A and B are shown apart, each in its own frame.
Chain A
Amino acid sequence: MASQSLNINNKKYAVDLNEDTSLLWVLREHLGLTGTKYGCGIALCGSCTIHVDDKPMRACSLTLSALNKGQKITTIEGLSKNGDHPIQQAWVEAQAPQCGYCQSGQIMQAVTLLAENPNPTREEIKAYMNGNLCRCGTYLRIVKAIEIAAKKTSVKT
Chain B
Amino acid sequence: MNKVVSRREFLKTSGGVALFIGISGLLPQMIACKNNKEVQKLLKKHQLTAWVKLAEDGQITIYNPAAEMGQGSMTSLSAIFAEEMDADWSKVSVEFSPQESEIYGSDKWSPNNKVMLSAGSRVTYGYYSIMRQAGAQARYILMNSIAEHWQVPIKELSTANGEVINRRDNKRIGYGEIIPYLYMPDKLPEFSESEFKDPKNYRFIGLDLPRVDIPAKVKGTAQFAIDIQLPEMLYGVLERGSLHGARPNLNNESEILALSGVLKLVPFDYAIGIIAESLDQALAAKKLLNISWSEAPASGFNSQDCYKKYEKIASEKSAGKVITNEGNINSAIKSAGKTFSVDFKNDYVYHAQMEPLNAVVQVGTDGNSAEVWVGSQQGFDSKLGVPSYLGIPAENVKINLQYLGGGFGRRSMTDFVLEGTGLAREVAPRPVKLIWTREDDVSYGAYRPLTLQRLKASTDAQGKITGFSHCVVGDGGNLVASGIQIDYYDIPNKYAEWREVSEGIRLKHWRSVGHAPNKFAIECMIDEIATYFKKDPADFRRILLAKSPRALATLDKAISMCDWYSTIADNHAKGIAFLERSGTLSTGICEISVDRKTGIISVHRFWSASDAGIVIQPDNVKAQMEGGILMGISSVLKEQLTIVNGRVQQSNFNNYEILQMSDIPDSVETAIIESREPPRGVGESGTPLVACAIANAFLKLTGKHLRHLPFTPERVLNALNS
A139 to B662, CA, bound (A): 9
> Is B438 touching A129 in the complex (CB atoms < 8 A)?
no
A37 to B69, CA, bound (A): 16
Over the window 188-230 of chain B, the binary record of Cβ atoms lying under 8 Å from chain A Cβ atoms (1 yes, 0 no) is: 0000000000000000000000110111111111111011010
> Is B70 touching A40 in the complex (CB atoms < 8 A)?
no
> Is B220 touching A104 in the complex (CB atoms < 8 A)?
yes
Q: Which of B577-585, B653-661, B694-702 contacts A (4 or more CB under 8 A)?
A: B653-661
> Is B280 touching A21 in the complex (CB atoms < 8 A)?
yes
B352 at the interface (CB under 8 A from A): yes
What are the residues of chain B within 8 A of A92 when measuring CB–CB?
210, 214-215, 218
A116 at the interface (CB under 8 A from B): no
> Is A139 touching B217 in the complex (CB atoms < 8 A)?
no
> Is A38 touching B226 in the complex (CB atoms < 8 A)?
yes
What are the residues of chain A within 8 A of B71 when measuring CB–CB?
98
A136 at the interface (CB under 8 A from B): yes
A76 to B222, CA, bound (A): 12
What are the residues of chain A within 8 A of B631 when measuring CB–CB?
135-137
Size of the chain B interface, CB-CB below 8 angstroms: 61
Q: Which B63-95 residues have a C-beta within 8 angstroms of A? A: 69-72
A62 at the interface (CB under 8 A from B): no
> Is A35 touching B221 in the complex (CB atoms < 8 A)?
yes
A102 at the interface (CB under 8 A from B): yes
Kindly provide the distance from the CB of A103 to the nearest chain B CB, expressed in whole angstroms: 5
Over the window 347-375 of chain B, the binary record of Cβ atoms lying under 8 Å from chain A Cβ atoms (1 yes, 0 no) is: 00000111110000000000000000000
What are the residues of chain B within 8 A of A98 when measuring CB–CB?
69-72, 623, 627
Kindly provide the distance from the CB of A88 to the nearest chain B CB, expressed in whole angstroms: 5
Over the window 622-641 of chain B, the binary record of Cβ atoms lying under 8 Å from chain A Cβ atoms (1 yes, 0 no) is: 01001111110010000000
**Residue from B72, B626, B654 in contact with A137 in the complex, judged by beta carbons closer than 8 Å:** B626
> Is A22 touching B664 in the complex (CB atoms < 8 A)?
no
> Is B356 touching A38 in the complex (CB atoms < 8 A)?
yes
Kindly provide the distance from the CB of A46 to the nearest chain B CB, expressed in whole angstroms: 10
Looking at A17, A101, A103, the one whose CB has the most chain B CB atoms below 10 A away is: A101
> Is A135 touching B278 in the complex (CB atoms < 8 A)?
no
**Residue from A47, A127, A141 in contact with B662 in the complex, judged by beta carbons closer than 8 Å:** A127
Over the window 49-90 of chain A, the binary record of Cβ atoms lying under 8 Å from chain B Cβ atoms (1 yes, 0 no) is: 000000000000000000000000001110000010000100
A39 at the interface (CB under 8 A from B): yes
**Residue of chain B at shortest CB distance from A93:** B210
* Known A-B contacts A36-B220, A45-B653, A135-B658; A29 and B279 likewise in contact (beta carbons under 8 Å): yes
B619 at the interface (CB under 8 A from A): yes
Kindly provide the distance from the CB of B507 to the nearest chain A CB, expressed in whole angstroms: 19
A92 to B218, CA, bound (A): 7
A153 at the interface (CB under 8 A from B): no
What are the residues of chain B within 8 A of A40 when measuring CB–CB?
438, 652-653
* Known A-B contacts A135-B406, A140-B630; A99 and B437 likewise in contact (beta carbons under 8 Å): no
A130 to B664, CA, bound (A): 10
> Is B280 touching A133 in the complex (CB atoms < 8 A)?
no
What are the residues of chain A within 8 A of B226 when measuring CB–CB?
34, 37-38
Over the window 659-692 of chain B, the binary record of Cβ atoms lying under 8 Å from chain A Cβ atoms (1 yes, 0 no) is: 1111011011000000000000000000000000
A96 to B222, CA, bound (A): 15
Main secondary structure of the interface of A (DSSP, over half): loop
Q: Which B276-303 residues have a C-beta within 8 angstroms of A? A: 278-280
> Is A44 touching B654 in the complex (CB atoms < 8 A)?
yes
A7 at the interface (CB under 8 A from B): no
What are the residues of chain A within 8 A of B654 when measuring CB–CB?
42, 44
**Residue from A29, A97, A137 in contact with B235 in the complex, judged by beta carbons closer than 8 Å:** A29
**Residue from B70, B354, B435, B667 in contact with A47 in the complex, judged by beta carbons closer than 8 Å:** B354
B405 at the interface (CB under 8 A from A): yes
> Is A97 touching B218 in the complex (CB atoms < 8 A)?
yes
**Residue of chain A at shortest CB distance from B353:** A135
> Is A140 touching B438 in the complex (CB atoms < 8 A)?
no
> Is A139 touching B661 in the complex (CB atoms < 8 A)?
yes
* Known A-B contacts A25-B279, A75-B220; A136 and B662 likewise in contact (beta carbons under 8 Å): no
**Residue from B222, B354, B667 in contact with A135 in the complex, judged by beta carbons closer than 8 Å:** B354
> Is B218 touching A101 in the complex (CB atoms < 8 A)?
no
A108 to B29, CA, bound (A): 51
A97 to B354, CA, bound (A): 13
Kindly provide the distance from the CB of B80 to the nearest chain A CB, expressed in whole angstroms: 19
A120 at the interface (CB under 8 A from B): no
> Is A37 touching B652 in the complex (CB atoms < 8 A)?
no
What are the residues of chain B within 8 A of A100 when measuring CB–CB?
70, 213-214, 216-217, 222, 403, 405
**Residue from B221, B629, B661 in contact with A129 in the complex, judged by beta carbons closer than 8 Å:** B661
What are the residues of chain A within 8 A of B627 when measuring CB–CB?
98, 136-138
B: which residues have CB within 8 A of A?
Answer: 69-72, 210-211, 213-224, 226-227, 229, 235, 278-280, 352-356, 403-408, 435, 437-439, 619, 623, 626-631, 634, 652-654, 658-662, 664-665, 667-668
Q: A38-B356, A101-B405, A125-B661 are in contact. List 13 more A-B contacts (CB 8 A).
A: A22-B280, A35-B220, A36-B220, A42-B652, A77-B221, A83-B215, A88-B218, A95-B214, A97-B211, A99-B69, A102-B354, A135-B352, A136-B627
A-B contact pairs, 6 of them (CB 8 A): A39-B355, A95-B623, A125-B661, A133-B658, A136-B631, A137-B627
Q: Which 10 A-B pairs have the closest CB atoms?
A: A35-B220, A137-B630, A98-B70, A101-B405, A100-B217, A76-B220, A99-B70, A83-B219, A137-B627, A34-B227
